[in-house]
Amino acid sequence: MNLYIRYFDKEALVYSADEAIDFLCAIPEIGMNPQIEADVRDYASSDVFFPKRYKVRPRVYFIMIKTEAATMLDFKQKKALRSNNSQGNSQQDRRETTTTAVSRLNEEKHGWYEGVLDFKRVILVPSTGKHEYRDTHFVARCKALSGIDCYNRIVDHLRDRVDSRSQFPSAKGKSFRFKYLGMWK
């Protein structure tokens, strides 16, 4: 894996962490130190493919990007983009987890559900006469056909009882959780 480094108009495509450190040492404004050197080596040896940004001073950074490009021209023309197979199983695992969470939400299973919803509720502050948003935790048990049906029933119930400016999260987000309790009788 090669490294592309850029600091303003100075840029290089290097083939090892040592070459990257040599390039950065040649730029006096960066002020190479053992901490930056260790961080560059860690980034080069890790399996992280996101670009890395290093702070030189307030609002001034240099960046490093891992690439499979053999030359600067290949990098600039984006000829060495990573394929889906080289991204590893972690991204595929995340997609599968997301898919299973959404499919679990839509899975039809008639019975009792316990839904937990964290939402932003509009409340009148009597001392000022103004309204403000408050984080509200709401738990309800209801009969439903699926997790999404449980969510819809809870939100429909709350819409009639709270200020219309209150904000409800997505059923797919972290602010809504549900648990299947069992069949109804």
Mapping DSSP onto H, E and C, the string for 50-119 reads CCEEEEEECCEEEEEEEECCCCHHHHHCCCCCCCHHHHCHHHHHHHHHHHHHHHHHHCCCCEEEEEEEEE
The answer to whether the beta carbons of residues 92 and 81 sit under 8 Å apart is no
What pLDDT is stored for residue 52 in this prediction?
Answer: 87
Share of the chain above pLDDT 90, in %: 32
Cα separation, 53 vs 46, whole angstroms: 15
Q: Give pLDDT tens digits for 80-98.
A: 655 444 445 555 555 555 5
> Which one, of 100, 108, 103, lies nearest residue 146 by Cα?
108
Mean pLDDT across the stretch 151-158?
A: 94
What pLDDT is stored for residue 90 in this prediction?
Answer: 58
Mean pLDDT across the stretch 158-185?
A: 87
The answer to whether the beta carbons of residues 114 and 139 sit under 8 Å apart is yes
Q: Is the pLDDT of residue 120 over 90?
A: yes
pTM to 2 decimal places: 0.48
What pLDDT is stored for residue 54 in this prediction?
Answer: 86
Handedness of CA 119, 124, 126, 127 (dihedral sign): positive
Mean pLDDT over the full length of the chain: 85
What pLDDT is stored for residue 68 in this prediction?
Answer: 86
What pLDDT is stored for residue 114 in this prediction?
Answer: 94
More confident residue, 13 or 76: 13
Q: Which residues contact 118 (CB under 8 A, 6 or more apart)?
A: 135, 136, 137, 138, 169, 175, 176
How many CB atoms lie under 10 A from the CB of residue 33?
9
Half-sphere exposure of 67 toward its Cβ, with a 13 Å CA cutoff? 23
Q: Give pLDDT tens digits for 25-80.
A: 998 888 888 888 888 898 888 887 888 888 888 888 889 998 888 888 888 877 66
Q: Is the pLDDT of residue 16 over 80?
A: yes
Q: Is the pLDDT of residue 119 over 80?
A: yes
